[in-house]
Amino acid sequence: MREVAIVGIGLSRWGEVWDASLRSLWTEAALAALADAGVDTVDSITVGCMSPGLFVGQEHLGALLADELGMPGVPATRVESACASGGVALKAAFAEVASGMADIVLASGVEKMTDVSGDECTAALATAADAELEVFHGASFPGLYAMMARAHMERYGTTREQLAMVAVKNHKHGSMNPRAQYRQEITIKDVLRSAKVADPLNVLDCSPITDGAAAVILAELSVARKLAKGRPVVKITGIGHATDAIALHSRPDMTSIPATTKAAQRAFAMAGKGPQDVHFVELHDCFTIAEIVVLESLGLCAPGEGGKQAESGRTALGGALPVNVSGGLKSKGHPVGATGIAQMVELATQLRGQAEKRQVAKARVGLAQNMGGTGASTVVTVVEVAS
């Protein structure tokens, strides 16, 4: 298997982008990544996107977007795995380069979510849950994650204030990210006083609805070294993927995410590393409780200790293990198909030393965790500076 590196990164505008379409947002990110890599063509394209048919009435994205980019004829594939679509698109692109099928691949993600009403958006997102066993009975993702939060609070003593501290931390990080959708800082009181969504979760415990796209250019390591132009070469050294029952109640424990644990074990084994080797993390904080449970499931803290991480300052910028220094889904935004790729953009930015105010000191190894639904699909990726 060949070694694979990230040679180009790009983001579109993120937020409620009324003056852009899905195709124009995606092209904006793709062109930025191509320019950053210094290439004008690729061998293949992958596109992570969860529900373009429901959000904008468009399927068949591979061919559409390759043509939009001015690359008709290049093989292009749309990848879907709910909110993990971007992570799985990255895995598919990685496999093409690692196997020798391609030397340079554009891995991307996109979602245009604000062109429909709130109810229509909720219905589209609900397709990532179990339609018969959850959605039919009225379950929504805020409700499902609220159940996880209640179970964690009951078992481990996690407090409502600790949940709020995750949001406060990530908004603090997002205030330093000019690409973040919400760049204002918030307080614990702000979180606790915000509108109730599903007890114990309030509006400020939830990630927003977002339009946006992200792209990375992957290349075989020797090609990457030629394209580096003096920048550190950022290498993907481990990638793991796992699935689980979609329905939350079908799992034996609501306080952990086994697919995340399995994916992490596979990624660490491939990279020849362990949790102790990670310098910073971008993880899937779709709700504040998700960050707490994911930290435990990744093995980055003991079960039941996740609630204490933001409270202690360990996961803040400057702490022992900075988490979501981009602002995470909570502050940066969550265009569901793009999130997994955007995490890789942040990891590469950090490892290049280009993150400015939010730069993690002496960062050499980063980890990304991207998941779909309540964790029924997870991709974990380990990235480091090549020697």
The residue assigned the tokens 């102790």 is 276
Q: Which residues, 6+ apart, have CB-to-CB distance to 386 below 8 Å?
A: 3, 5, 221, 224, 225, 232, 233, 234, 235
Joined together, the tokens standing for residue 362 give 């002496």
Coil/strand/helix, residue 196: strand
Residue 361 CA to residue 353 CA, distance in Å, equals 9
Residue 107's φ and ψ, nearest 5 degrees, are: -105, 130
CB-side neighbour CA atoms (13 Å) of 206: 20
Residue 309 CA to residue 253 CA, distance in Å, equals 21
Nearest of 193, 166, 162, 198 to residue 304 by alpha carbon: 162
121 is catalytic: no
38, 22 contact by CB (below 8 A): no
Measured torsion, CA atoms of residues 183, 127, 242, 46, in degrees rounded to the nearest 10: -70
301 is catalytic: no
Cα 145 to Cα 141, 149, 200, 254, 258: the distances in Å are 6, 6, 9, 9, 15
Nearest of 194, 369, 224, 382 to residue 298 by alpha carbon: 369
Catalytic residue among 49, 83, 206, 301: 83
Q: Where are the beta strands (DSSP E) in 81-145?
A: 104-111
Joined together, the tokens standing for residue 372 give 């779909």
Report the catalytic residues.
Answer: 83, 334
